[in-house]
Amino acid sequence: MSADTPTLDTVRAWLWAARRIAVLTGAGVSAESGVPTFRDAQTGLWARFRPEELATEAAFRRDPGRVWAWYAERRARLQGVQPNAGHHALAAFEQRHPGRMTLITQNVDGLHQGAGSRGVLCLHGDLFENRWLDVPRDCCRIDDACVGHPPYCDRCGNLVRPGVVWFGEPLPYAALDAAQRAARACEVMLVVGTSGQVQPAGGLARLARQAGARVVVVNPEPTELDAVAHAILAGPAARLVPELLDF
Ligand code: OAD
The domains of the chain are located at 1-35+82-124+171-247, 42-80+129-164
**Nearest residue by C-alpha to atom 11 in ligand 1:** 221
The CATH-assigned architecture of domain 1-35+82-124+171-247 is 3-Layer(aba) Sandwich (3.40)
Q: How far apart are CA 15 and CA 138, in angstroms?
A: 50
By the 8 A CB rule, do 220 and 236 touch?
yes
**CA dist 185 to 92, 102, 180, 212, 240, Å?**
22, 10, 9, 9, 24
**Nearest residue by C-alpha to atom 17 in ligand 1:** 236
**CA dist 220 to 38, 45, 47, 54, 198, Å?**
15, 19, 19, 28, 18
CATH of domain 42-80+129-164: 3.30.1600.10
Domains 1-35+82-124+171-247 and 42-80+129-164 share a fold: no
Contacts 24+ apart (CB under 8 A), 97-103: 100/18, 100/19, 100/20, 100/21, 101/20, 101/21, 101/22, 101/23, 102/20, 102/21, 102/22, 102/23, 102/178, 102/179, 102/182, 102/186, 103/23, 103/25
pLDDT at 4: 61
Count Cα atoms within 13 angstroms, Cβ side, for 4. 1
The answer to whether residue 230 is catalytic is no
| Beta strands 160-164; 125-132: pairing state | antiparallel
For every one of its 247 residues, what pLDDT tens digit does the chain have, with 9 covering 90 and above?
444 689 999 999 999 999 999 999 999 999 999 999 999 988 899 988 888 899 999 999 999 999 999 999 999 999 999 999 999 999 999 999 999 999 999 999 999 999 999 999 999 999 999 999 999 999 999 999 999 999 999 999 999 999 999 999 999 999 999 999 999 999 999 999 999 999 999 999 999 999 999 999 999 999 999 999 999 999 999 999 999 999 9
Q: How far apart are CA 152 and CA 157, in angstroms?
A: 6
Distance 220 CA to ligand 1 centre (A): 11
Q: Please work out whether the CB of residue 75 comes within 6 Å of at least one atom of ligand 1.
A: no
The residue to mutate among 35, 120, 198, having the most atoms of ligand 1 within 8 angstroms of its beta carbon, is 198
Q: Which atom of ligand 1 is nearest to the CA of 218?
A: 20
**Nearest residue by C-alpha to atom 25 in ligand 1:** 194
Q: How far apart are CA 110 and CA 76, in angstroms?
A: 13
Q: The whole model's pTM is what?
A: 0.96
Distance 19 CA to ligand 1 centre (A): 27
**CA dist 117 to 23, 32, 76, 95, 209, Å?**
12, 18, 22, 8, 25
